[in-house]
Amino acid sequence: MHLVSIRGAVTANDNSVESIDEATLLLMNTLVKENKILEEDIIHILFTATSDLTARYPSVIVREELGWNQTAMLNFEEKIIDGQLPRCIRVLLLIETDRTKETFTHSYLREASKLRPDWITE
């Protein structure tokens, strides 16, 4: 077994609980489905959000909707950079696996596809 990091990002439509929840679930469900991730494989999950997303932490809906209550999660605010992509949620999952990192898919959805055009999954 070894550790592998999986990345992803998505944009929310606005700064509301509903929009942050919807975008976070879209991102997480895409990563889970494409990579066949199980909660027991996850070491931890780190979320970042741009400073214009203040209505809710992304991890809250993951705990509520996916039921991932045994996984350590942290939320951070992105550093403010001139010209940064607005309303952006990013995630970094660290998992334990027998698979090589080349077998995993990173997901950059909606406007976040501009961040890593080489990893677009939409």
pLDDT digits (tens, 9 = 90+) for 47-83: 999 999 999 999 999 999 999 999 999 999 998 888 8
Helix (H) or strand (E) holding 102: none
Q: What is the mean pLDDT of the chain?
A: 92
pLDDT of residue 122: 47
pLDDT tier for residue 28 given thresholds of 50, 70 and 90: very high
Name all domains of the chain by residue range, CATH numbers in brackets. 2-119 (3.30.1330.40)
Q: In this structure, what DSSP letter does residue 30 have?
A: H
